[in-house]
Amino acid sequence: MNYEPNLSANLKMELVLSLRRAGVTDTDVIATMESVPREIFVPEAFRDRSYEDITLPIGHHQTLSQPGVVGLMTEALELDDRKKVLEVGTGSGYQTAILAPLCRRVYTIERHEPLLREAEIRFEELRVRNVTTKVGDGTLGWGAQAPFERIIVTAAAADVPPILADQLSIGGIMVVPIGLSDDFQTILKVVKTDHGLETEELRDVRFVPLIPGVSTGT
């Protein structure tokens, strides 16, 4: 794939304004999102809208979340260069590419194999080296690599997924959209303590549902 990233100052300013409107204040998150060319993660037909604060289709009935949501969820993870992160739902790889510079390593699972293969090409072209990928059922997490200090889920679950909560380390943070209705979903920030899970609602959203199983079709 050959890309021609549109990195104009006006588009970057639009992105920063979207992040600030969403309440994102972490300067590292904002700087990382400015540096990652969002347009290469969307189909060519939508590239002129890459920096608008909207959700965009990426195929296979999946979507790329609006920048404000990506920024808010990333900030809520409270990342640093020591954290090992599990991402459930690689999608186009955009969220992964935002996480990678902010943590030690990202383990990312995608149930749609064609999406993951396309994302891997983007990671290679962007020289993202601290990402490990797998085609698999994200509802099962990645037990062989658990525990994780941070977990991010990019599809909506009915409740905090218990298997993923089990793979979260004590003191760890999970960010997950909750709610299967199109009318009401909310992002939860979940902190695992010695006494259980503490949750905080961040904002209302609309995500595709978290579905078990693997899809290898085109």
Map out the domains of the chain as residue ranges: 9-204
Read off the pLDDT of each residue in 38-42 and give the average, rounded to a whole number. 92
Q: Identify the H or E element spanning 204.
A: strand 196-204
Give the pLDDT band of residue 14 (cuts 50, 70, 90): confident
Token reading at 103: 């943590």
**Percentage of residues of the chain with pLDDT beyond 90:** 69
Q: Is the pLDDT of residue 141 over 60?
A: yes
* Model confidence pLDDT, tens digit, residues 178-190: 997 766 799 999 9
Catalytic residues, by residue number, are 65
Question: No. of H helices and E strands in the chain?
Answer: 6, 9
Name, in order, each residue with C-beta under 8 angstroms of 171's C-beta and a sequence gap of 6 or more.
Answer: 149, 191, 192, 193
**Distance, CA of 174 to CA of 192 (rounded, Å):** 8
Instruction: Give the 3-state secondary structure percentages of the chain, helix then strand then coil, rounded to 5.
Output: 35, 30, 35
Q: Rounded to two decimals, what is the model's pTM?
A: 0.91
Q: Is the pLDDT of residue 104 over 90?
A: yes
Q: What is the mean pLDDT of the chain?
A: 91
* Model confidence pLDDT, tens digit, residues 107-118: 999 999 999 999
Q: Tell me, what's the pLDDT at 87?
A: 98
Q: Identify the H or E element spanning 39.
A: none
Fold of 9-204: Rossmann fold (3.40.50)
